[in-house]
């Protein structure tokens, strides 16, 4: 009975049919920015932005961490595209990347779909800069599909145990972890939860309105925020991850009120020799709040790893 209830609950956030998908492909989600594209797999329709950057530039891949959507990235793109080819995408079941009827938010299932998408769009040897829970996907893909990833940059990302602490702090009564009730409450209260989440996570009042305004517009056009399904099916504390061989950098915005020192400390468990850079003036979204500082940090670190030299030489 439990598995049937769980399956029904997950279908509330997935199960998009051709009519729904066509509305995303041809409506506001497709036209809000000129560089938006879609990539379709058997289970997910991925929405992404791709910016060419200079000839031979290394490819840098970002995940939009909901309720952030692709529309938040304009200023970052303007800065980073001077040095990188950029691919920025919305995760399955988030933003305007709907899951189809076969999609169930499973950990390996989701990561395999992301890898399939990025193999075609980003290509091999990319640098993955994944945020928060998606940091687990970056590590998993880097170890199971090592040809796709030459370096990892984990932003506000903790190991499975650290993220379990984070998840319980965000859902202290366990409501989002209850099938159907969690999905219902997220749909009903997403608009109210969004500004409160930004208030906690940004850590800077000056950023609050611009983040809220952008997310409010996207939500008004049907942006997804399937947090309950992600809590129920994607992440748990028992996930086993191999340690990646690729060089790893962790970036932490210290003003992020959603993460405890315990979750931050767990980051280094995921990779041997991981370097950690703390940004005292940024919150949960440092690449959007302080892009100049973040990209100076990234470029300086990549230079020490000699990553991207072959691409530039070619």
In this prediction, residue 312 carries a pLDDT of 43
Q: What's the domain range around 53?
A: 2-305
**Does residue 313 lie within any of the structural domains?**
no
Please name the residue that has the structure tokens 């691409």.
311
Residue 312 lies in a domain: no
Q: Which helix (H) or strand (E) holds 263?
A: helix 261-265
pTM for the predicted model, two decimal places: 0.95
Query: 239 in a domain, yes or no?
Result: yes
C-alpha 250/C-alpha 82 separation (Å) is 23
pLDDT at 46: 98
Task: Report yes or no: 43 and 190 within 8 Å, Cβ to Cβ.
Answer: no
Contact criterion met (CB below 8 Å) for 104 and 129: no
pLDDT on residue 17? 85
Cis ω for the linkage preceding 67 (within 30 of 0): yes
Closest CA to 270 of 238, 241, 246, 301: 241
- Count Cβ neighbours within 10 Å for each residue of 25-60 and write b for 16 or more, e otherwise: eeeebeeeeeebeebebebbbbbbbbbebeeebbbb
CB 86 within 8 A of CB 58: no
Q: Give mean pLDDT in consecutive 10-residue pieces for the chain, a chain of 314 residues.
A: 79 86 94 98 97 96 98 98 98 97 95 98 98 97 98 96 92 94 94 96 96 98 96 91 96 94 87 93 97 97 77 41
- Calpha distance 266→144 (Å, rounded): 22
Q: Is residue 292 domain-resident?
A: yes
pLDDT of 141: 98
The per-residue b/e assignment along 204-238, b for 16 or more CB within 10 angstroms, e otherwise, is: eeebeeebbebbeebbeeebbbbbbbbbbbbbeee
Domain membership flag for residue 311: no
Give the DSSP per-residue string, 198-239.
HHHHH--HHHHHHHHHHHHHHHHTT-EE-HHHIIIII--TT-
Q: Is 314 among the domain residues?
A: no
Query: Is the residue at 228 inside a domain?
Result: yes
Q: Indicate the number of domains in the chain.
A: 1
Residue 209 resides in a domain: yes
pLDDT at 158: 93
CATH number (domain holding residue 44): 3.40.50.1820
């Amino acid at each position: 009975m439990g598995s049937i209830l769980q399956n029904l609950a997950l279908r509330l956030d997935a199960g998009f049919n051709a009519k729904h998908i066509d509305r995303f492909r041809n409506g506001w989600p497709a036209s809000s920015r000129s560089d938006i594209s879609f990539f379709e797999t058997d289970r997910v329709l991925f929405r992404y932005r791709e910016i060419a950057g200079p000839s031979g530039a290394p490819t840098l891949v970002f995940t939009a961490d909901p309720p952030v959507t692709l529309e938040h990235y304009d200023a970052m793109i303007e800065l980073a595209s001077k040095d990188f080819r950029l691919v920025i995408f919305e995760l399955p079941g988030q933003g305007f990347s709907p899951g189809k009827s076969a999609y169930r938010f499973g950990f390996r299932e989701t990561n395999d779909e992301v890898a399939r998408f990025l193999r075609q769009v980003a290509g091999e040897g990319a640098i993955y800069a994944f945020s928060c829970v998606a940091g687990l996907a970056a590590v998993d893909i880097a170890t199971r599909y090592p040809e796709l990833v030459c370096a990892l940059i984990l932003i506000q990302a903790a190991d499975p145990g650290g993220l379990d602490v984070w998840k319980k702090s965000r859902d202290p009564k366990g409501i989002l972890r209850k099938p159907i009730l969690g999905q219902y409450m997220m749909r009903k209260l997403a608009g109210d939860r969004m500004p409160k989440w930004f208030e906690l996570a940004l850590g800077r009042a000056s950023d609050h309105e611009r983040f809220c305004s952008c997310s409010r517009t996207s939500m008004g056009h049907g942006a997804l925020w399937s947090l309950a399904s992600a809590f129920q099916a994607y992440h748990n504390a028992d996930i086993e991850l191999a340690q990646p061989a690729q060089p790893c950098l962790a970036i932490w915005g210290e003003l992020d009120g959603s993460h405890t020192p315990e979750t931050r400390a767990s980051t280094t468990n995921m990779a041997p020799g991981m370097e950690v850079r703390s940004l005292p003036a940024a919150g949960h979204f440092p690449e959007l709040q302080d892009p100049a500082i973040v990209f100076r940090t990234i470029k300086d670190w990549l230079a020490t790893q000699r990553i991207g030299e072959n691409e530039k030489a070619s």
